Structure 1
Amino acid sequence: MKADLHIHTTHSDGAFSVAEIIAMARNLDYIAITDHDTFSGAREALAIAPDKPKIIFGIELSTENRDESVHLLGYFPDQGTIAGLEEKLLEQRRHRRTRAEAIRAKLKELFNIEIDFSGYEATESITRGTIASAIIERGYPFTREEIFDRMIGSGRPAYIPSTKLSTKEGIKLIRENGGFVFLAHPVLLRKNDPEEIIRMGVDGIEAVYPVNNKGDEKKYRRLAAEWDLLISGGSDFHILNDSMHGKLGGTPLKGRDLDLFLRALKGAR
């Protein structure tokens, strides 16, 4: 069996609809729709309810620790336990809209780049990926990588944090609402030690990730063994031909890792 447990759709900053993702993932046994700070994509996937791939209800929650964005993946046995999260997620999405407008103003002031979000009114969660897409769609001659590296990446001139939710509080919220919480893409952390986040009480770590090298995956597997953590993995798929993330199904979780993950989810809390 194979699973891709980290996928984005048009409900946040992915390029494909939920139905399109499901059609593209027919060679996988399980997928998790993990849009940023919203369950709407995961809900739509459950409503479609394909025989294959089976749907795992999930989310990617934005938090902050040590002045750095720390993303948490939350996986839930069903959607009946998440009521306590919804108010916080609405607050997160409102902040993302405000932040997007502030970044838009910075882009105009600092780089003479003008964009608008009129084409993204149906998008639940506006991210920096959305902003990069808007820049490219307006015809500016930059790649997504260049936009992040020069303008909106962490520490760059037009960067503004996406949230004030602490990582510790985010972990607590997911667990209190029946979810299993995983540290997402630890390889991307610059100011945080993954072990510090682990000590806050995560259930697992995303050890299988497309931009990892072999040494990275080995390191995170070792941490998982030391702290008795589950392992997750996925492509972090957003768009085609994306060097910043992976190809749908290209970095699958499988074998014993997937068996242990599914067993934990079925056992629930």
Structure 2
Amino acid sequence: MNKFIDLHMHSMYSDDGEFTPTQLVEKCHAAKITIMAIADHNSVKAIDEAKKAAKEYGIHYIHATEIDCTYNGINLHVLGYGIDHKNPIFNELEENILKQELACSEEKLKLTNQLGFALDKSQLDALSANGVYTGEMFAEALLNDSRYQDHPLLKPYRENGERSDNPYVNFYWDYYAQGKPCYTEVVFPSLKETIKIINENGGVAVLAHPGNNLKGQFEVFDEMIKAGIQGVEAFSNYHDEDTVNYFLKKGREHHLLITCGSDYHGKTKPAIELGETRCIIDEHEIEAQLREYQLL
């Protein structure tokens, strides 16, 4: 089955991304991806550069962003496709979240060191371009600190450990995600507000990797559909077969836009390759839906 669509990847404009927008386009071209979208966290800065580069390679480029939001206390990621990225509201959103994340970074450092470490701020500054410290950065700093070579807490993330497939992001999920020991709260817009922003700017609101954010409570997705979610990323690198089938069935049942995305970041998620979306249907079906939603 041909794999030529990847609608979820991150550039350096995401705190945990590695490559420039142009480099991502070049990588997509090498991977024979012909329909792509860079969906940076709460940012639209990659769009103009990526769109220009994609045109040179004959790649269909779809405007996108990935907005952090909340629904009844659950942190979510919602993808906005086909947005008018020139609206200042997207920059305002990014600046507001950046301000909060800078404050949270200091708190994350304190909480991390309470786990039995003595990381210095300079170790994180060497990894961060803007002063924001992500859970993945803490993982990278700790795993490369010779003082903690044999630290028991880090063993699962080292080679052959049970969490070593994507050690940095797994460390994030285990210690910095909602409800974990080093979690710090950022006030994100609500799901309703996020859908409104996306729709008012000509976009389609799609729930990203629901298997991650709705783990153990998939039934909540039905409520989100009623709240206005228009699509679902049924095909994600994070989803096992049962999860894929659950959200594919839901998407078809409710006539939602069904998308596929690798969530490629580069070094942060080394086990994920571009185009690796676990899609089990002919991607021409997804292409047809994208045209139906006027995203191509």
Normalised TM-score (structure 1)? 0.86
CA apart distance, 1:70: 0.5
2:247 corresponds to: 220
207, 213, 222: which one pairs with 1:183? 207
2:8 equivalent to 1:6: yes
Provide the secondary structure at the position in 2 that maps to 1:40: coil
Distance 2:60 2:278 in 1: 14
* Cα deviation digits, residues 130-172 of structure 1 (max 9, x gap): 4433444545554325523542233221112343321221111
Alignment-mate amino acid for residue 14 of structure 1:
G
CA distance in 2 between partners of 1:212 and 1:34 (Å): 18
Aligned residue runs from structure 1 range 90-129, under 5 A: 90-116=95-121, 117-119=124-126, 122-123=129-130, 127-129=134-136
Quote the Cα distance in structure 1 between the aligned partners of 2:174 and 2:261. 27
- Superposition map of 1:240-259 within 5 A: 240=267, 242=269, 246-251=272-277, 254-259=283-288
Distance 1:91 1:197, change over 3 A: same
Aligned to 1:66: 72
Alignment partners' CA distance in 1, 2:274 and 2:94: 26
Instruction: Give the Cα–Cα distance (whole angstroms) in 1 for the partners of residues 134 and 224 of structure 2.
Output: 23
Superposition deviation, residue 7 in structure 1: 0.1
Is 2:239 the partner of 1:236? no
Partner of 2:198: 174
Structure 2 contact 64–83 (Cα < 8 Å) conserved = no
The structure-2 alpha-carbon separation of the partners of 1:14 and 1:121, relative to structure 1 and needing over 3 Å to count, comes to closer
Q: Which residue of 2 aligns with 1:165?
A: 189
Structure 2 residue 34 is matched with structure 1 residue 32: no
* Distance in 2 separating the partners of 1:85 and 1:127: 21
Residue equivalent to 1:46 = 51
Structure 2 counterpart SS, 1:238: coil
Aligned CA distance change for structure 1 residues 176 and 70 (closer, same or farther; 3 Å): same
Matched, 1:20 2:23: yes
Structure 1 vs Structure 2 CA RMSD: 2.7
Using the size of structure 2 for normalisation, the TM-score is: 0.79
84-93 vs 221-230, which moves further? 84-93
Equivalent pairs, count: 265
Partner of 1:151: 175
Q: C-alpha deviations, 1:97-152, integer Å up to 9, x for none?
A: 22222212211233324153423553597643344334445455543255235422
The answer on whether the counterparts of 2:234 and 2:260 sit within 8 Å (CA) in structure 1 is yes
